[in-house]
């Protein structure tokens, strides 16, 4: 056990090599850079011509058999000059990279490992250096010193803040690991800890920075070459070749192409290598390659189950005449890491005009997703895959988004769970309400402001005028939720979907918000769909309630019926585990946990946790069936509910 804690992650170089080989682009980039380096190193052996031998008979020839990349204005072979010029450009860039690493890595390690005042000094120094334009600093150096070495060292120095920051952050995260602490306790010197334990762990982020900088160094070296600051003619560098080509651009435009493209390709290759290192390093523990394969397979599987589904039991149910919203066999799929998951499965219910319908269930049973699906506001990756949602005679499933957005606010409103993140942080509360009012009612600014203040008052906010001018971060949770309710009321919706409107609030505020919702329900004759996991909220505010478990609606009844005689064992268990309703001293809870969507059993989804489960419960999916009038249960043996409680007593 203790051994595990002090275990240092080994570096698996073979695994990294395999991951690298699985990226064709990275392999091409690596091959390109290797070939380039080798070709330039052995330029004297490979180059077809002496880079400085002039041939005034074939000047500016363009590509030909004799000169693959053509000749310049003195008849010198471009290919040969590129290879020899590469020596200059690559070597200069290498000098800069070495300076960059030699200065940056120790500074980052020291700042991160020692912390305190040294850290602060290093960080403010990097801040200053980062605000200097690199080229200007280099020009000043070039004005004072001769030769390219001082320039390249300066380039490495002024670019080093990027690697200092990265190494520092990596060091900070490794520093707190137990094996590093252990090494310190054992008495290793600080330098040894740095060298043997911390340095190996920051190599990957370091390598990313080095390759990114190498790309930048080549561009800047080429720019210096273009300004004739890196070498003295006639010996070439890639940048100075571009400068020479520029002077004859009207006579031979092709001449700028070879030297330019070789820079572009080299920079891209180094960038690709940097990206590959970063991705491999970031996904060290991630199995996303496998995941994508699984996802494809799963989505095919689910398609089959959709067609095979036998649960369309009450699709023929007539819609009651007083129904405002009629949901039938609603099915919602979410695309997740585990593949396509059916989060909401054949949910059917009606919301009558003016009624408050509760939806209750444990976290993760799909009730919030169901509520968002009704609004057409599913999170990305979610979609309605079946069933129908009819609102005032209009089918919402499959409706064009434009049509659908016209219903939102005007006819269906939303109050969500977290008021503090539900308001736009960069606009005042007032301007948000005003904008909604102006959009929905086409009113002018003055009317909108008057109405906004009235709505804030209706939401029982103490001082509407000061709230109007406040930003969301200046409000308390309860005030923010009242502001959200005011916004939701702006369009005078027929149906308000309240998704756990009191969960994130203090207990005292919860009651006030609930009270507000109920009075609005009376005042505006507005139906409310109240999603909650709190029986107290249901008892106080709802006429009927639906109980959801594992994506399905398992029971639907009036609140009286539910509390007095539940007809589903899950409802019974949920009621018994409620601290407000439980009569005895001990608080019973339902055995087991809510299964995750990919673990849902074939038969009754509650069967594994159900005290009454019999063999037939697990055989096939259980259909929801109407018992009497509006009552619905998804249980095969509702008559046995209550036995477990009585037998215990």
Partner 1 sequence: MERQLGLNKPVFVQYGHWLYKALHGNLGASLQNKQSVVEMLNSRLTVTLTLIVMTVIAVSIVGVGLGVVSAVKGGLLNRIIDLLSWLGLAVPNFWLGLVLVSTFSVTFHLFPALGLTALSSSPVGWLKSLVLPVVALSAAPIAVVMRQTRDAMSSVLDGEFVRTLRASGLTERSIVLRHALKNASLPVVSVLGVLLVSLLGGTVIVENVFAIAGLGSLAVSAVSAHDLPVVEGVAVYFTLIVIVVNLLVDIAYGLLSPKVRLR
* Positions that interact with partner 1 (CB under 8 A): 130-137, 139-140, 142-144, 215, 219, 222-223, 226-229, 242, 245-246, 249-250, 253, 256, 260, 263-264, 267-268, 271, 372, 375, 377, 379-380, 405-406, 408-410, 412-414, 416, 418, 421-428, 432, 435-436, 439-440, 471, 473, 484, 487-488, 490-491
In whole angstroms, how close is the CB of 108 to partner 1 at the nearest point? Answer: 19
Choose between 201 and 259: whose C-beta lies nearer to partner 1: 259
- Whether 89 contacts 221, CB under 8 Å: yes
Choose between 130 and 336: whose C-beta lies nearer to partner 1: 130
Choose between 17 and 140: whose C-beta lies nearer to partner 1: 140
Choose between 82 and 222: whose C-beta lies nearer to partner 1: 222
Choose between 387 and 409: whose C-beta lies nearer to partner 1: 409
- Calpha distance 443→436 (Å, rounded): 10
In whole angstroms, how close is the CB of 248 to partner 1 at the nearest point? Answer: 11
Q: If residue 230 lies in a helix (H) or strand (E), which one and from where to where?
A: none
Choose between 137 and 627: whose C-beta lies nearer to partner 1: 137
Choose between 189 and 473: whose C-beta lies nearer to partner 1: 473
In whole angstroms, how close is the CB of 631 to partner 1 at the nearest point? Answer: 31
- Calpha distance 185→281 (Å, rounded): 29
3-state secondary structure of 626: strand
- Whether 146 contacts 91, CB under 8 Å: no
Per-residue DSSP letters for 432-463?
HHHHHHHHHH---HHHHHHHHHHHHHHTT-S-
CB burial of residue 379 (10 Å; 0-12, 13-18, 19+) = exposed
In whole angstroms, how close is the CB of 189 to partner 1 at the nearest point? Answer: 38
In whole angstroms, how close is the CB of 148 to partner 1 at the nearest point? Answer: 13
In whole angstroms, how close is the CB of 246 to partner 1 at the nearest point? Answer: 5
Choose between 312 and 435: whose C-beta lies nearer to partner 1: 435
- Calpha distance 165→167 (Å, rounded): 6
- Report the DSSP beta bridge partners of residue 358: 530, 545
Phi and psi at residue 420, to the nearest 5°: -70, -25
In whole angstroms, how close is the CB of 46 to partner 1 at the nearest point? Answer: 25
- Calpha distance 100→118 (Å, rounded): 20
- Report the DSSP beta bridge partners of residue 414: 497
- Whether 180 contacts 197, CB under 8 Å: yes
Structure tokens at 44: 């004297």
Count, residues in the chain: 649
In whole angstroms, how close is the CB of 607 to partner 1 at the nearest point? Answer: 35
In whole angstroms, how close is the CB of 303 to partner 1 at the nearest point? Answer: 22
**Alpha helices, DSSP H only, in 325-400?**
367-375
- Report the DSSP beta bridge partners of residue 604: none
In whole angstroms, how close is the CB of 242 to partner 1 at the nearest point? Answer: 6
Choose between 137 and 172: whose C-beta lies nearer to partner 1: 137
Phi and psi at residue 330, to the nearest 5°: -65, 130
- Calpha distance 355→559 (Å, rounded): 12
In whole angstroms, how close is the CB of 49 to partner 1 at the nearest point? Answer: 24
Q: If residue 213 lies in a helix (H) or strand (E), which one and from where to where?
A: helix 199-226
Structure tokens at 73: 């204005």
Choose between 8 and 410: whose C-beta lies nearer to partner 1: 410
Q: If residue 501 lies in a helix (H) or strand (E), which one and from where to where?
A: none
- Whether 362 contacts 551, CB under 8 Å: no
Beta carbons within 8 Å of 284's beta carbon, 6+ residues apart? none
- In eight-state DSSP terms, residue 598 is G
- Whether 499 contacts 416, CB under 8 Å: yes
Task: Give whole-number Cα distances, 301 to 114, 297, 339, in Å.
Answer: 55, 6, 10
Choose between 318 and 425: whose C-beta lies nearer to partner 1: 425
Choose between 215 and 636: whose C-beta lies nearer to partner 1: 215
- Calpha distance 607→624 (Å, rounded): 15
Beta carbons within 8 Å of 12's beta carbon, 6+ residues apart? none
Q: Annotate 289-321 with b (16+ C-beta within 10 A) or e (fewer).
A: eeeeeebeebeeeeeeeeeeeebebbeeeeeee
In whole angstroms, how close is the CB of 440 to partner 1 at the nearest point? Answer: 5
Choose between 414 and 604: whose C-beta lies nearer to partner 1: 414
In whole angstroms, how close is the CB of 131 to partner 1 at the nearest point? Answer: 6
In whole angstroms, how close is the CB of 285 to partner 1 at the nearest point? Answer: 23
Choose between 423 and 554: whose C-beta lies nearer to partner 1: 423
């Amino acid at each position: 056990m203790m051994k595990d804690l002090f275990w240092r992650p080994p570096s698996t170089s073979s695994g990294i090599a395999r991951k690298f080989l699985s990226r064709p682009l990275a392999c091409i980039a690596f091959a390109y850079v290797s070939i380039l380096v080798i070709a330039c190193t052995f330029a004297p052996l490979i180059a077809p011509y002496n880079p400085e031998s002039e041939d005034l008979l074939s000047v500016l020839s363009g590509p030909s058999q004799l000169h693959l990349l053509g000749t310049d204005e003195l008849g010198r072979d471009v290919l040969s000059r590129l290879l020899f010029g590469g020596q200059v450009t690559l070597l200069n860039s290498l000098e800069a990279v070495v300076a960059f690493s030699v200065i940056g890595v120790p500074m980052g390690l020291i700042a991160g490992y020692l912390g305190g005042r040294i850290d602060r000094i290093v960080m403010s120094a990097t801040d200053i250096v980062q605000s200097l334009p690199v080229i200007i600093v280099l020009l000043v150096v070039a004005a004072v010193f001769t030769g390219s070495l001082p320039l390249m060292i300066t380039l490495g120095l002024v670019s080093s803040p990027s690697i200092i920051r990265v190494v520092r952050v990596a060091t900070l995260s490794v520093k707190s690991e137990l094996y590093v602490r252990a090494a310190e306790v054992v008495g290793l010197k600080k330098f040894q800890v740095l060298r043997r334990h911390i340095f190996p762990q920051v190599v990957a982020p370091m390598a990313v920075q080095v390759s990114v900088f190498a790309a930048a160094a080549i561009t800047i070296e080429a720019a210096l070459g273009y300004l004739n600051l890196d070498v003295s003619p006639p010996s070439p560098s890639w940048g100075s070749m571009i400068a020479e080509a520029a002077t004859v651009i009207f006579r031979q435009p092709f001449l700028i192409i070879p030297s330019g493209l070789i820079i572009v390709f080299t920079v891209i290759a180094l960038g690709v290598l940097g990206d590959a290192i970063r991705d491999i390093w970031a996904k060290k523990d991630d199995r996303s390659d496998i995941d994508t394969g699984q996802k494809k397979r799963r989505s095919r599987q689910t398609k089959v189950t959709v067609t095979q589904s036998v649960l369309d039991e009450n699709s023929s149910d007539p819609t009651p005449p007083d129904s405002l919203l009629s949901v039938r066999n609603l099915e919602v799929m979410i695309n997740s890491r585990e593949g396509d998951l059916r989060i909401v499965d054949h949910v059917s219910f009606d919301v009558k005009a003016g009624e408050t319908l509760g939806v209750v269930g444990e976290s993760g049973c799909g009730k919030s997703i169901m509520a968002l699906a009704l609004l057409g506001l599913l999170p990305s990756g979610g979609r309605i895959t079946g069933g129908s949602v009819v609102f005032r005679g209009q089918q919402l499933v499959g409706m064009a988004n434009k049509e659908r957005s016209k219903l939102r606010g005007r006819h269906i409103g939303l109050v969500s769970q977290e008021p503090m993140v539900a308001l736009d942080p960069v606009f005042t509360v007032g301007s948000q309400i005003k904008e909604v009012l102006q959009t929905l009612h086409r009113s002018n600014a003055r009317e909108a402001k008057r109405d906004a203040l009235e709505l804030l008052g209706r939401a029982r906010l103490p001082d509407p005028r000061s709230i109007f001018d406040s930003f969301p971060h200046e409000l308390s949770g309860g005030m923010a939720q009242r502001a959200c309710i005011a916004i939701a009321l702006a369009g005078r919706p027929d149906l308000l979907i309240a998704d756990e409107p009191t969960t994130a609030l203090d207990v005292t505020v919860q009651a006030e918000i609930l009270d507000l919702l109920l009075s609005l329900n009376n005042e505006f004759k507005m139906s409310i769909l109240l999603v909650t996991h709190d029986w107290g909220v249901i008892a106080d505010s709802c006429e009927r309630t639906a109980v959801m478990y594992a994506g399905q609606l398992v029971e639907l009844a009036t609140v009286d019926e539910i509390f007095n005689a539940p007809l589903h064992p899950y409802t019974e268990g949920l009621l018994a585990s409620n601290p407000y309703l439980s009569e005895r001293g001990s608080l019973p809870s339902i055995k087991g946990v809510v299964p995750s969507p990919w673990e849902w059993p074939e038969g009754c989804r509650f069967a594994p946790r159900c005290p009454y489960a019999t063999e037939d419960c697990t055989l096939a999916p259980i259909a929801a069936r109407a018992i009497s009038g509006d009552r619905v249960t998804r249980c095969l043996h509702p008559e046995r509910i209550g036995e477990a409680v009585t037998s215990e007593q």
